[in-house]
């Protein structure tokens, strides 16, 4: 299995879920912020066009491949990795550990509606999870220092971000030095927690991959 992949000039992690979780758990009590984000095809293409954005993605402690089409594009044929991505295994196993270890979660997103959607998913699937607070960027005008103050005041262990990319990475870049939590886990606002095997999801992914592949070919030429 390839541990690192490079696509459109962007280098990303391709560790399996067990390997990543092992590293996270070894360092779970450290106060140093560990940055984790799920990376999809659109983020890779944005990184190819924007060197600063590329630096943010490559500077993550762990980048989680969010779409199997990325594996296809780099010729990775690991059945295990395809299964993990298709079935959101990292998301599930990460929050199982958060729940079991009684870690406090603070959710941030663009809108309160989107936050509530993900909050309900977490509470349904992980009934013992501790969500200490939520904040929406839409509630703030300009700078977001009040959100950082709220995160730190709650003593949150995990900041779970459902802010849409590229705003998510901009927020992380601007404020990561001020966040006292141990883990930042960003999934953006389009993550599909439900099964990826429905016909409609498969059609959408085929269309997205064709566009993605066409762009990669144009970059190579």
Residue 143 tokens read as 């700078």
**Residue in the structure block whose two tokens are 């200490």:** 132
Level-2 CATH architecture, domain 4-220? 3-Layer(aba) Sandwich (3.40)
Mean model confidence pLDDT for the chain: 88
H or E segment to which residue 185 belongs: strand 183-186
Per the listing, tokens 């005008």 go with 141
Cβ-contact 163, 188 below 8 angstroms: yes
Tell me the CB-side half-sphere exposure of residue 181, using CA atoms within 13 A: 30
Q: What is the pLDDT of residues 106-143, one digit of tens each?
A: 999 999 999 999 999 999 999 999 999 999 999 987 77
pLDDT tens profile 45-85: 999 999 999 999 999 999 999 999 899 888 888 899 999 99
In terms of C-beta density within 10 A (0-12 exposed, 13-18 middle, 19 or more buried), how is residue 126 classed?
middle
Tokens 């309900």 label which residue? 120
Q: pLDDT-derived band of residue 211, with 50, 70 and 90 as boundaries?
A: low
Contact between 17 and 187 (Cβ < 8 Å)? no
State the Cα–Cα distance between residues 19 and 13, nearest whole angstrom.
11
Report in angstroms the alpha-carbon separations of 3 from 17, 36, 86, 185. Answer: 12, 16, 18, 20
Among the ranges given (34-38, 109-113, 171-175, 213-217), the one the predictor scored with the smallest mean pLDDT? 213-217
| C-alpha atoms less than 13 angstroms from C-alpha of 94 in its C-beta half-sphere | 27
> What is the pTM assigned to this prediction?
0.88
**From 143-147, 166-170, 193-197, the region with the lowest mean pLDDT:** 193-197
Judged against a pLDDT cut of 90, whether residue 148 lies above it is answered with yes
């Amino acid at each position: 299995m390839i541990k690192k992949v490079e696509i459109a000039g962007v280098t990303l992690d391709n560790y399996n879920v067990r390997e990543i979780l092992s590293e996270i758990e070894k360092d779970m009590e450290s106060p140093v912020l560990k940055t984790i984000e799920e990376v999809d095809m659109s983020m890779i293409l944005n990184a190819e066009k924007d060197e600063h954005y590329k630096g943010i993605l490559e500077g993550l402690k762990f980048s989680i491949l969010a779409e199997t089409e990325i594996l296809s594009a780099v010729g990775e044929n690991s059945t295990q990795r395809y299964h993990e991505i298709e079935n959101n295994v990292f998301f599930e196993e990460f929050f199982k550990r958060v729940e079991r270890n009684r870690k406090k979660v603070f959710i941030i997103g663009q809108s309160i509606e989107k936050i509530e959607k993900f909050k309900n998913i977490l509470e349904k699937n992980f009934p013992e999870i501790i969500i200490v607070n939520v904040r929406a960027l839409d509630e703030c005008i300009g700078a977001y220092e009040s959100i950082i103050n709220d995160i730190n005041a709650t003593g949150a262990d995990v900041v779970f971000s459902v802010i849409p990319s590229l705003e998510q990475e901009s927020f992380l870049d601007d404020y990561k030095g001020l966040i006292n939590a141990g883990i930042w886990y960003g999934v953006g606002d389009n993550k599909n927690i439900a099964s990826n095997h429905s016909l409609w999801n498969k059609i959408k992914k085929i269309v997205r991959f064709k566009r993605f592949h066409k762009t990669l070919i144009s970059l190579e030429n």
